Amino acid sequence: MSLIVCRTRLTSAFALFLLSASLAGCGGGGKSETILIGHFGSMTGSEATFGQSTDNGIRLAIKEVNAAGGVLGKQIELKTYDDQGKSQEAGTAVTRLITSDKVVAVLGEVASSLSLAGGRVAQQYGVPMISPSSTNPTVTQIGDMVSRVCFLDPFQGWVAAKFARENLKAQNAAILYDQAQAYSKGLMDAFDEAFKEMGGTITTIQAYTGGDQDFSAQLTTIRQTNPDVIFVPGYYTDAGNVSIQVRKLGLTAPLLGGDGWDSVKLAEIGGSSIEGSYFTNHYSHQNPAPEVQNFVAKYKSDYGQIPDGLAALGYDAARLLFDAMNRAPSLGGKDLAAAIASTKNFPGVTGKITIDAERNAQKAAVVLEMKDGVPAYVTTIEPAP
């Protein structure tokens, strides 16, 4: 399928190129009436809901802004490429967005490893990129073109540790992380450090490789150490699989994860095994704030499902980009990137977003519990002052 899709996408990219060339030709150097932005995400693959949710969120934001007259009097148009959750594809997708589609800005990715691959390309060409939900610190260290609208792994790991210590009263924790993902490794490090600092004990640190289906050796080792909580900072497909085997092995300790769990697929795969486990996230759809409920209602009516955190972040990233476009002196890479970086207290559905000097967002995290297959709001944890 990917072959066929590539073919049609190539054709459409080519067609678009011809179209823009002809427009420029007959208009006597006139500007096109739309502003093109790009999105690269995992539309297929084992993290497919990440890309799809984000894309839905972005499209909803675009629909709204276009209905309200667009940005700078022009309509926004979106070009999405699938990277299949593979870093080499992510680099190719961003290159294509910038060089052949000539987008003014890029949105993406969810997975930090892929944002790193795409971000390097964006930086090289001097086109601003906003990652909606990559939480690994290294992502924005690429350079001044790359920023994000979500919190970072050290903070998320710290939130998970604080929740485990203070709310779950856990003394001992075991960790099972995905050694192939920068995201998972980052969360593991942060949790390990914070949990020990708060007086807890890490009984064992075990690893798997994303996509593995057999965790019996690791879980047998974990079972021996008898932890109060098991921290599994992986993605939802793996977390679902881990939960099944954890319960099969007779372990009753709750699992604790990060925003990588945020997908309707988690409950589908994990089934009853994932019930009663917790994860940290960017927002809760149960938040009664009017802007959140407004967003949830609109998203539901367009896509027929409850928006997950990634959809909310995609929505926020796109809206923050439009806000920056309005403020920027021009849509050139440097100007636009500077406008994004100077964002203060932007009212997003995932909280107030302020971009700091490292182009990261400062905001609070929520903790959710899986209840009857739906993530239910438990508590909000603010950054330490």
User: From residue 81 to residue 120, what is the string marking binding to other proteins with x (rule CB under 8 A)?
Assistant: ----------------------------------------
What are residue 280's DSSP bridge partners?
367
User: Which of 45/119 has CB closer to other proteins?
Assistant: 45
The closest of 344, 342, 335 to 127, measured between CA atoms, is 335
Q: Does 268 bind other proteins (CB under 8 A)?
A: yes
Q: Does 6 bind other proteins (CB under 8 A)?
A: no
User: Which of 1/68 has CB closer to other proteins?
Assistant: 1
CA distance 265 to 43: 14
Omega before residue 109 within 30° of 0, cis: yes
User: Which of 28/250 has CB closer to other proteins?
Assistant: 250
User: Which of 212/335 has CB closer to other proteins?
Assistant: 212
Q: Does 65 bind other proteins (CB under 8 A)?
A: no
Say how many CA atoms lie within 13 Å of 338 toward its Cβ.
9
Q: Is 212 left (phi over 0), alpha (psi -120 to 50) or beta?
A: beta
The strands making up 34-41's β-sheet, listed across from edge to edge, are 75-82, 34-41, 105-107, 129-131, 146-148
- Give the shortest CB-44-to-other proteins separation in angstroms: 4
User: Which of 46/66 has CB closer to other proteins?
Assistant: 46
Instruction: Give the one residue of 36, 48, 116, 256 binding other proteins; rule: CB under 8 A.
Output: 48
For the chain, the first-to-last Cα distance in angstroms comes to 50
Residue 364: partners with Cβ closer than 8 Å, 6 or more residues away: 151, 351, 380, 381, 382, 383
Instruction: Give the one residue of 20, 34, 44, 87 binding other proteins; rule: CB under 8 A.
Output: 44
Instruction: Give the one residue of 211, 276, 347, 383 binding other proteins; rule: CB under 8 A.
Output: 211
Binding residues for other proteins, total number by CB under 8 A = 37
Alpha helices by DSSP H, listed for the chain, are 2-26, 48-67, 87-99, 112-125, 153-162, 182-197, 216-225, 236-248, 264-270, 290-303, 309-327, 333-341
Instruction: Give the one residue of 269, 306, 338, 378 binding other proteins; rule: CB under 8 A.
Output: 269
User: Which of 6/198 has CB closer to other proteins?
Assistant: 6
**Are the C-beta atoms of 339 and 236 separated by less than 8 Å?**
no
Q: Does 248 bind other proteins (CB under 8 A)?
A: yes
Q: Does 265 bind other proteins (CB under 8 A)?
A: yes
146-148 and 129-131: which strand pairing? parallel
In the region spanning residues 146 to 205, those forming contacts with other proteins, defined by CB under 8 A, are 179
User: Which of 123/237 has CB closer to other proteins?
Assistant: 237
User: Which of 147/241 has CB closer to other proteins?
Assistant: 241
- Give the shortest CB-310-to-other proteins separation in angstroms: 15
- Give the shortest CB-211-to-other proteins separation in angstroms: 4
In the region spanning residues 227 to 246, those forming contacts with other proteins, defined by CB under 8 A, are 237, 240-241, 244
**3-state secondary structure at position 382:** coil
Is the CA virtual torsion 45, 47, 49, 50 positive or negative? negative
Q: Does 46 bind other proteins (CB under 8 A)?
A: yes
CA distance 385 to 383: 6
Instruction: Give the one residue of 36, 37, 41, 49 binding other proteins; rule: CB under 8 A.
Output: 49
**Are the C-beta atoms of 178 and 208 separated by less than 8 Å?**
yes
In the region spanning residues 276 to 335, those forming contacts with other proteins, defined by CB under 8 A, are none
CA distance 262 to 164: 19
Q: Where along the sequence are the contacts to other proteins (CB under 8 A)? A: 1-4, 44-46, 48-49, 179, 206-209, 211-214, 216-218, 220-221, 224, 237, 240-241, 244, 248-250, 265, 268-272
